[in-house]
Structures are given as C-alpha cells and as structure tokens.
Structure 1
Amino acid sequence: MRCVGVVLAAGGSTRFGGDKLLTNFRGRPLVWWPAEALREADLETYIVVNRREVAEAAGPLAGVIYNPWWRGGLSTSVKAAVAALYDKPCIVWMLGDMPCVSPYTVRRVTEACRSGLAVPVYRGARGNPVASARDVYGLALGLAGDVGLRALLGAVPVAYVEVEDPGVVIDVDTPEDLEKLASKTCPGPSPAP
C-alpha cells in the first residue's frame, strides 16, 4: 500500500529555548533530516506546520498542512493531517526533531502497516516513525491534548517492527541533546548537496 509521510513539526520548542526545527544540524535545518528520510523512502511528504519557514526548511518537495490550533498539543497536528489526508491508505508519522531515522526503517514500518499501527522497536524500546492505516483515522480524530497515536496502542492492532536503527529512539529536546548528537554517528538520511 502506498503511504504518505507527515512530519509533525508544529510544536513550540519550549524545552529547547528557541526554534529548534530551524536550528542547524550538520549543515541543514533540524527539520530537513526527518523530511529527507521520508523522501528517500519514496513517500510523498507533508509537513504539518503553522509557519511557512519551517516547511521551506524541510525541503523542496514538502507540502504544508497548516495547524492553527498547535498550542492545543500534538493531537491537533495529528487531526489536521488526518483530515487533509483521509483518502490516503496509510500515513507514516515522523517527528520533526528526530534527525537520525534511516529511510530503510521508514520503508520497513510502511511495509508492516496493513491495518492499525506499525511501530518500530529498537532493543526493546518503542520508537518513531509510526505508520497508521486508514482504519485508525476515525480514532485519531478523537484524540485530544498533547498525545499522538501511541494513545491508541491497545485499542487497535499493532505490528511491532524490530529494527537495528537507534535513530528511532533519538530525539532533540534541548540544545544539549543537539550537542551530544553532533558528535555521534547518525544512521539517518544522507546529507545530499
């Protein structure tokens, strides 16, 4: 089934103390990396943002789904994307602050999504991106507050996908997280010119 990708990128970056998604990471804005993982996985990419600058930083193929209610939490971005993409058979949900997810992992999660959710697992820890099939969309529209699709675990079928990609559990919340990550190997997409 052909999936589309959504980078959830409408948060306030409160713990970071600035606009982390536009912060430089290895020569690119942080949000470029998860968007590039979706592009390299051959998914159509949509960026959920409330500002044009973040969508532009994500790259030339990124479309925009505006979420004017983003202060209401992650669920508002999920609902905005589901409403815009309801006709798509599958959505792969990537967080905008996860620069190290490999495109191969995105493909594996996509392939595992037949119904319900597909969730990557790295050494016993659940990670992202999560893929959702169309049968989950109605439940996703009922989410509220600062929760994502993980709130539906236990309510829908879940395919857990074992991966050897530490990027699925690496996110950036603070400037210190970004500093530590800069010196580590990152299995994410290749930094094309």
Structure 2
Amino acid sequence: MRINLILLASGNSKRFNGNKLLTNFNNKPLYMHTLDKIKSIKGLNKVIVVTKYDEIKSKSINLGFDVVLNQDSDLGISNSIILGINRDKSADGYMFMVCDQPFIKVKSINKLIEEFNSCNKGICSVGYKDRLGNPNIFSSRYLNDLLSLKDDVGGKYVLKKHIDDLKVIQIEDEEELRDIDTRQDIEL
C-alpha cells in the first residue's frame, strides 16, 4: 500500500512558552529527532512536512521531503492535517506523526506500517496498554472525516468515532509516547 507520512510541525508551543520544536534537546533541535527517524522508516510513499518554521522547511527540503507551509497555524491542528492531505490525495493510507515525541522508535513505526498493510482495519495506532498514542495511520476511506476536522481537533476524534475499525499496535516502552510539552519535560 502507498502510505504518505504527514509530519505535523506547525504548533505554537503555548504550554512551552517558546518554540519547543527549535529548542535544543539532547544536542540537537527537538524536531531533528523525528526527521532523523523518518529517514529510516520503510515503506513510505511520500513524506510531507507541514510547518511554518523556515528552519524546519529548509532541513526537510534538504532531506528530500515535500514541504507544505502552514500560514494559519492558529486555526489548530486540523489545518495542518488538511494541508498535508491536500498535498497528495492519491495514497492508500495517511500516517500522522508529531515532532515533539523524540523517544518513539523506528522499530515501532515500522511495525505500525507492517500491521496496517497486513490487517483488515482502516485505522492503526501505536499504544501502550490502554493508552493510545502517535503515530496513527488512517485508510483513505477516512479522508472525508479527516478533511472535515475543525479547530484544534485532530485525528484522535476520527479514531474514537471509528473505534471498531481500529487496530492498536502495542509498543514495548511507554516512554516512546512521551511528548515534550513544557520546559520541565525538556529537563527530565
């Protein structure tokens, strides 16, 4: 199956009190942890980075990724999702990742893709026990649901609406799901 990875990198970092994606974390900008991992993911049709930051745009282009500028990030995560999908609606599946989850492992992402390709479910998500996380992959049959999102409502809304069509891929370590949302998270 052709899977487009849409990297959501337009956030305003309101809880962080500054731009967390460009903040140094373990000797490099936080967003680079995700970009470096994406280079090792198998089975992707296209990588589409949705951002409003020049540094992320330049680095993504240098890595050969497609970039969509989000000039309206204040409209919420739904705007980034819609921009990413509209860049290429020809895929069989759309995987959404975030840039503030530096501990996710390539092994877990590859397993997610493998399971999506082999199972009969329209949505696949990583999870740890009862906790769902990112990334998630949605079949193209959910494009209308995703394109109808508004404000700061993301794919979890669609996932919960179609929970009967969800397969959860259990990861080994809950730490993989940890987001960097505050300055204290950077220091942990």
TM-score range, shorter chain: 0.7 to 0.9
- Note the alpha carbon deviations across 1:48-84, whole angstroms, 9 max, x for none: 1023212234562332111222101111100111111
In the other structure, the counterpart of 2:147 is 141
Amino acid of the structure 2 residue aligned with 1:50: K
Higher helix share: 2
In the other structure, the counterpart of 2:181 is 173
In the other structure, the counterpart of 2:10 is 10
Q: How much does 1:145 deviate?
A: 1.2
1:47 is the counterpart of 2:66:
no
1:151 is the counterpart of 2:157:
yes
**Separation in 1, partners of 2:93, 2:70:** 20
**Does the aligned pair in 2 maintain the 1:22–1:57 contact within 8 Å?**
no
**Does the aligned pair in 2 maintain the 1:120–1:163 contact within 8 Å?**
yes
Residue 137 of structure 2: SS of its match in structure 1? strand
**Separation in 1, partners of 2:55, 2:140:** 30
**Does the aligned pair in 1 maintain the 2:33–2:102 contact within 8 Å?**
yes
**TM-score between the two structures when normalised by the length of structure 1:** 0.86
The alpha-carbon distance between structure 1 residues 57 and 27, as it changes in their structure 2 partners (threshold 3 A), is farther
Structure 1: runs of 5 or more not aligned: 181-193
Residue 20 of structure 1: SS of its match in structure 2? coil
In the other structure, the counterpart of 1:190 is none
Amino acid of the structure 2 residue aligned with 1:84: R
**Separation in 2, partners of 1:164, 1:178:** 22
1:127 is the counterpart of 2:127:
no
**Does the aligned pair in 2 maintain the 1:5–1:46 contact within 8 Å?**
yes
Worse overlay, 145-154 or 171-180: 145-154
In the other structure, the counterpart of 1:105 is 108
**Does the aligned pair in 2 maintain the 1:38–1:106 contact within 8 Å?**
no
Residue 128 of structure 1: SS of its match in structure 2? strand
Worse overlay, 32-41 or 136-145: 32-41
**Does the aligned pair in 1 maintain the 2:102–2:176 contact within 8 Å?**
no
Q: How big is the alpha-carbon RMSD for the aligned residues of Structure 1 and Structure 2?
A: 1.7
Aligned with residue 95 of structure 1, among 98, 105, 111: 98
Structure 2: runs of 5 or more not aligned: none
**Separation in 2, partners of 1:153, 1:178:** 29
In the other structure, the counterpart of 1:71 is 74
Identity of aligned residues (%): 26
**Separation in 2, partners of 1:127, 1:10:** 19
**Does the aligned pair in 2 maintain the 1:97–1:173 contact within 8 Å?**
yes
The alpha-carbon distance between structure 1 residues 47 and 167, as it changes in their structure 2 partners (threshold 3 A), is farther
Residue 35 of structure 2: SS of its match in structure 1? helix
The alpha-carbon distance between structure 1 residues 39 and 29, as it changes in their structure 2 partners (threshold 3 A), is same
